[in-house]
Structure 1
Amino acid sequence: MPLIHVSLRAGKPEAYREAILDSLYRALREALNVPEDDQFMTISEHAPGNFRHGTAYGVQRGDDLVYITITVFNTRTPEQKKALFRRIADLLGESPGIRPEDVFVVIADAPKENWSVGHGLQFA
């Protein structure tokens, strides 16, 4: 039950944004074995003056940088997370063609009791 939010500079066409979401969904299915149609994702676009990055950690990022925040149950192993990072970078490279240097991912763990996925009910 991952919840994904993507931030990027404004101006990319709809097909580009859809390719990001499609690639992320595929990575989740392959690396974390999420259920079919488990697609809870949003994209926010930002004007250049509202979107900043640097070259910290020895990475030469460019204007196609995407920030990806993924909230998941706290049951994912470090190995699963590593596999997900790699698969996201690979798939976004294939479609829509984002360089690996421009893929910035953060995974936030949350216990299942912190989730309500509908009807105001706690996830069981």
Structure 2
Amino acid sequence: MPLIQVDLLKQNDKERLRNILDTIHQCAVEAFDIPERDRYQIVNQHDPEEMILLDTGLGFERTKNQIVIRVTSKQRTQDKKELLYSLLGQRLKDRCQIEPQDLLVSIVENGDADWSFGFGKAQFLTGEL
């Protein structure tokens, strides 16, 4: 946990897609102090007309490399969230050639009772996690 959903334009290069997912995970591990095997990612690939990401009036344009990262997580501090944003902006550019203006991140928080990792149990509540 966290659960990370990634929306981007359809990728023909499977290695590039894996690199993007690996980079996002490494950023989450570092920013949120989660274990390496705490990896839950879902990818949604879209045709260009299915993703409209404007600039909220900030005065920039996005490219075909635009990406939305939605993070569902237990509560995190503002510092950890800002670290995640910063790491994603830097590393997606350096490792995946995704410019920071093409990145949109949203974090939604929830609590221990909102997670079940299988077996019909809430492992945070049962003490298994």
TM-score computed with the length of structure 2 as normaliser: 0.90
Deviations along 1:7-27, one digit per CA (max 9) or x if unpaired, are 011134111111111101110
Which structure 2 residue ranges, 5 or more long, are not aligned? 125-129
Q: Which amino acid aligns with 2:4?
A: I
Report percent identity of matched pairs. 27
SS in 2 for 1:42: strand
3-state SS in 1 of match to 2:7: strand
Query: What CA distance in whole angstroms lies between the structure 2 residues aligned with 1:57 and 1:120?
Result: 45
SS at match of 2:63: coil
CA RMSD in angstroms comes to 1.2
Counterpart code for 2:49: G
Q: Give the counterpart letter for 2:48 in structure 1.
A: P
TM-score, with normalisation over the residues of structure 1? 0.93
Q: 4+ residue runs of structure 1 moved beyond 4 angstroms?
A: none
Q: How does 1:40-55 map to 2 (within 5 A)?
A: 40-55=40-55
Aligned residues: 123
Instruction: Give the gaps of 5 or more residues in structure 1.
Output: none
- Structure 2 counterpart of 1:93: 93
Bigger Cα Rg: 2
